[in-house]
Amino acid sequence: MLIHAIRSSRTMWKGQRRRLRNWGFEVIAPDLPGHGLRRGETFTLDGALATIDEAVSACEQPPLLVGLSLGGYLTLHWAGTHPGRLSGVVAADCTIVPGPASARLYGLWITMKDFLPGDSDSRVARSFARRHSRKAAKRYYGGGRAHGVVRAVVRLIGGLDLLADIAAIDVPLTLVNGEHDPFRRHEALFLEAARDGELVILEDAGHIANLSRPKRFAKLLRDRARPRTPLGSIA
């Protein structure tokens, strides 16, 4: 199960979805409220968590829950508060402790280009393509660029106790960061808080690592989705 980043949609996972399905996995990638096909809805924490809960409930077996950036924060929080329902967790590009001040700076960072003259959506997509590729930009914004969600996301991120959530996760946790991702600041704290955690750094990748290095990211998910002995069980 793949949970997307802010202002993106399920389309950002297109490459991973195709590869994982070719390897025989069932893949679910819902749109969060206010994003993609649900852009007419209001983004709320309860709505986002309900989206994950409904998708997990629809799975015949406990799934591997994967999230990136905003999706990573939601994944960690949901996994920490819903024990016994997953086979594993992968959280990418979200290893920074989100206090209120840093959350406000994050909100300013992702909205500042909207205040420049001209079509902000086209300008941001071109900038994303220069950092990654045209294909990556098409996938990240393939479901449209969500508007009106930043303020709610900032409140959400600033109010989470992620280290407590991580400590409560009862399945293997893999933290994934791009080598050049600015959200790596507290990765050691996140890893220390985990009961059963590992950290993977994707070389020459930045934020939104699944689009920086799509094949490597897909292979990582494939490997983590394979059956593994749960915590506390006897092999």
- pLDDT tens for each residue of 13-58: 999 999 999 999 999 999 999 999 999 999 999 999 999 999 999 9
Binning pLDDT at 50, 70 and 90, where does residue 152 land? confident
Stated pTM of the model: 0.90
Instruction: Measure CA 127 to chain center.
Output: 21
Give, in order, the Cα–Cα distances in Å from 201 to each of 67, 126, 188, 204, 210.
16, 26, 12, 9, 12
User: Can you name the residues that pair with 92 across neighbouring β-strands?
Assistant: 68, 176
Provide the pLDDT for residue 127.
84
Share of the chain above pLDDT 90, in %: 73
Using DSSP's 3-state secondary structure scheme, residue 84 falls into coil
Quote the radius of gyration of the chain (alpha carbons, Å): 17
114: pLDDT strictly greater than 80: no
Provide the pLDDT for residue 230.
44
- State the Cα–Cα distance between residues 121 and 54, nearest whole angstrom: 31
Provide the pLDDT for residue 229.
45
Provide the pLDDT for residue 186.
94
Provide the pLDDT for residue 143.
95
Provide the pLDDT for residue 124.
83
* Across 202-217, average pLDDT: 95
- Asked whether 66 and 79 are in contact (CB, 8 A), the reply is no
Q: Is the dihedral of CA 59, 63, 67, 73 positive or negative?
A: positive
177: pLDDT strictly greater than 90: yes
Provide the pLDDT for residue 85.
97
110: pLDDT strictly greater than 70: no
213: pLDDT strictly greater than 70: yes
Q: What are phi and psi of 231, to 5 degrees?
A: -60, 135
Provide the pLDDT for residue 235.
31
Q: What are phi and psi of 100, to 5 degrees?
A: -55, -40
- State the Cα–Cα distance between residues 108 and 61, nearest whole angstrom: 40
Provide the pLDDT for residue 28.
97
Report which secondary-structure segment, H or E, holds 86.
Answer: none
- State the Cα–Cα distance between residues 174 and 194, nearest whole angstrom: 9
Chain mean pLDDT for the chain:
89
Binning pLDDT at 50, 70 and 90, where does residue 183 land? confident
